[in-house]
Amino acid sequence: MGGHKVLVKAYEDASPENMRALVEIMTYDKARFAWPEPTRARSRTALARPDHLRNYAEVLAHGAPIPVKVDRDTMPMMLIHGMHDRVLHYETSLWLLANNPDARPVLPSLSGHGAMIERAAECNRLVIDFLSHS
Mean pLDDT, residues 40-69 taken together: 80
102 vs 112, more confident: 112
pTM value is 0.76
What digits encode the pLDDT tens for the residues 57-103? 887 777 655 555 556 667 788 999 999 998 888 888 888 888 888 88
Q: Is the pLDDT of residue 31 over 80?
A: yes
Alpha carbon distance 51, 102 (integer Å): 36
DSSP state of 74: P
DSSP state of 62: T
- List the beta strands (DSSP E) in 1-134: 77-80, 103-106
